[in-house]
Amino acid sequence: MSLTAVQIAQQVKTGECSATSIVEAALTKISRQKQLNCFTTLLESSALADAATLDRKIAAGDTVGPLAGVPFAVKNLFDIAGTVTLAGSKINQSHPPATQDATAVARLKAAGAILVGVLNMDEYAYGFVTINHHYGVTPNPHDSTRISGGSSGGSAASVAAGLVPLTLGSDTNGSIRVPAALCGVYGFKPTYGRLSRAGAYLFSSSLDHIGPFARSVEDIALAFEVLQGPDSRDPICTDRPRIAPDLSGDMTGIRVAMATGRSKTIATEHFSRGMTTPVAQALDQISSALQVTQTLTLPESAQARAAAYLITASEGSQLHLQRLQTRLQDFDPATRDRFVAGAMMPNSWYLQAQRFRRWYRDQVREIFKTVDLIIAPTTPCSAPLIDQTSMELDGEMVPVRPHLGYYTQPLSFIGLPVLSVPIFLPGELPVGIQLIARPYDENTIFKAAMVLEQQGITEAKVAN
């Protein structure tokens, strides 16, 4: 499935190929690459039935949507009517099947896309690795000895492997952007509240976003356009007008800066600390292509990251408190201890973290009065080995799992729109760079991303 979503939809709508043939090819490729362990459930029968229905509509001359015939898959925390929503857990296996599709799933289907299955993830979205005790590891398609990242690892890996051109994931502290970077695809986290989360099994309600993965900016933008719109099922999904994605690549008047993140209380630069040489080289390439002439400070970014941890742990543990009390041993060992620790956190810590969050948001709001786009690394390094437990960060050995979100967490904290764009340097595994804009200014990101793609700086390659 090396074609993009836009290319597939064009071929299906013009009759160059049928939706059925496209879906059959996707299902065949998925079945032949089971070692990637991207899918926890395949929906062959319904996918083929939906494709046949779409083909009949096209034959009858009916109007079809902009994603006509495009196979897609979703992280297994999205509700799919008739399917149990696992959220990467053993505990949810005993839940009844969902009675209706998540809003995001329904909107993609309404646009003509064909749902072919659901994808592996870290349990309850609490992780950056997609090493799941219940459903196994999803390895990186570019190197099977390495992780795909998480928690939306199946979503990123299936796009990188060319199994499907479009997937959905969720992002709390980096769960879209981290696997997108490690797998070498585009991963988009729109502004908090821009896309409906109704029917998605949340982890931390005040932080959670949903968003798409794809191998082209055009596919990301099209999915974003389709997914927009208010939703009464999700109280945080705002009633802001839909926007048409701007793919002109016109950067006239757009002020771009590189984040350094110097803290007044900690003598380090958060966003320039710890990155490996390939990440630094990728950042330099992006900076040159976008003609970055200034750096800026995201104040107290280390504290923002710590506060994001506290909020995540507290809200996640409260969501699962009853299950922690009654089914503790059924949790993935990698998530269980962190949930338990969050449940014991003093309420005063959570409240202080939320107060700091408001302060940090106000500081960043002031920064966006002088710049329009900020660039920063997505992860400090390329994909670690599957059995790797520690990594080096500025000469210090630190745990892998929490530190893959080192650069993403301060930005999730205040709901900014961010696109992780893929960079492949010669002889290296892919890395990612974040394009960050002010809230509800996704179009600035799209413009910059198109410039980078058109210049060949960013590219999402299908893994061999």
Task: State mean pLDDT over 135-157.
Answer: 98
Reported as a single tens digit per residue, the pLDDT across 192-234 is 999 999 999 999 999 999 999 999 999 999 999 999 999 999 9
pLDDT for position 60: 96
The superfamily (CATH) of domain 5-227 is Amidase signature (AS) domain (3.90.1300.10)
The 10s digit of each residue's pLDDT in 404-442 is: 999 999 988 899 999 999 999 999 999 999 999 999 999
Residue 239 has pLDDT above 90, yes or no: no
Percentage of the chain beyond pLDDT 70 is: 98
User: What pLDDT is recorded for position 261?
Assistant: 57
CA distance 115 to 398: 39
Task: Output the pLDDT for position 268.
Answer: 54
Residue 241: pLDDT band by 50, 70, 90 thresholds?
Answer: confident
Give the CA count within 13 Å in the CB-facing half-sphere of 324: 18
* C-alpha span between 353 and 371 (Å, rounded): 26
158 belongs to the catalytic site: no
Residues 154, 142 contacting (CB under 8 angstroms): no
Instruction: Give the mean model confidence (pLDDT) for residues 275-294.
Output: 94
Buried b (16+ CB within 10 A) or exposed e, 235-268: ebbbeeeeeebebebebeebebbbbbbbbeeeee
Judge contact between 269 and 261, C-beta under 8 A: yes
pLDDT of 330 higher than 70: yes
In this prediction, residue 240 carries a pLDDT of: 77
Classify the phi-psi angles of 186: left when phi > 0, otherwise alpha if psi is within -120 to 50, otherwise beta: beta
* Residues 57-69 as b or e (16 or more Cβ within 10 Å = b): bbeeeeebbbbbb
Residue 74, pLDDT > 70, answer yes
Going by pLDDT thresholds of 50, 70 and 90, the confidence category of residue 162 is: very high
CA 319 to chain centre: 22
Structure confidence by residue, pLDDT tens digits, 100-128: 999 999 999 999 999 999 999 999 999 99
pLDDT at 153: 98
For the cut 60, the answer to whether the pLDDT of residue 264 exceeds it is no
Which residue has 């492949």 as its token pair? Answer: 424
Query: What's the whole-model pTM score?
Result: 0.97
Q: Which of 13, 75, 189, 447 is catalytic?
A: 75
How much is the pLDDT for 267?
42
**Catalytic-role residue among 89, 151, 314, 317:** 151
- In angstroms, the CA 31 to CA 33 distance is 6
CA 43, CA 73: separation in Å to the nearest integer? 10
Quickly state the pLDDT bin for 1 (edges 50, 70, 90). Answer: low
| pLDDT exceeds cutoff 60 at 279 | yes
**Chosen CATH of 256-418+426-434 out of 3.30.360.10, 3.40.50.150, 1.10.10.10, 3.90.1300.10:** 3.90.1300.10
Q: Look at the alpha carbons of 265, 348, 307, 196 in this order and tell me if their dihedral is positive or negative.
A: negative
Report the share of the chain in percent with pLDDT over 90: 91
Cα(150)–Cα(169) distance, integer angstroms = 10
Average pLDDT over residues 374-395: 95
pLDDT in tens, 301-317: 999 999 999 999 999 99
Taking the C-alpha atoms of residue 132 and residue 151, their distance in angstroms, rounded to an integer, is: 10
Residue 119 CA to residue 13 CA, distance in Å, equals 27
pLDDT at 158 over 90: yes
Q: Where are the domains of the chain?
A: 5-227, 256-418+426-434
Catalytic residue among 89, 170, 175, 301: 175
What's the rounded Cα separation, in Å, for the pair 30 and 158?
Answer: 9
Mean pLDDT for 35-50 is 98
At residue 265, the pLDDT reads 47
- Whether 175 is a known active-site residue: answer yes
Average pLDDT, the chain: 95
Q: Indicate the pLDDT class of residue 238, thresholds 50, 70 and 90.
A: confident
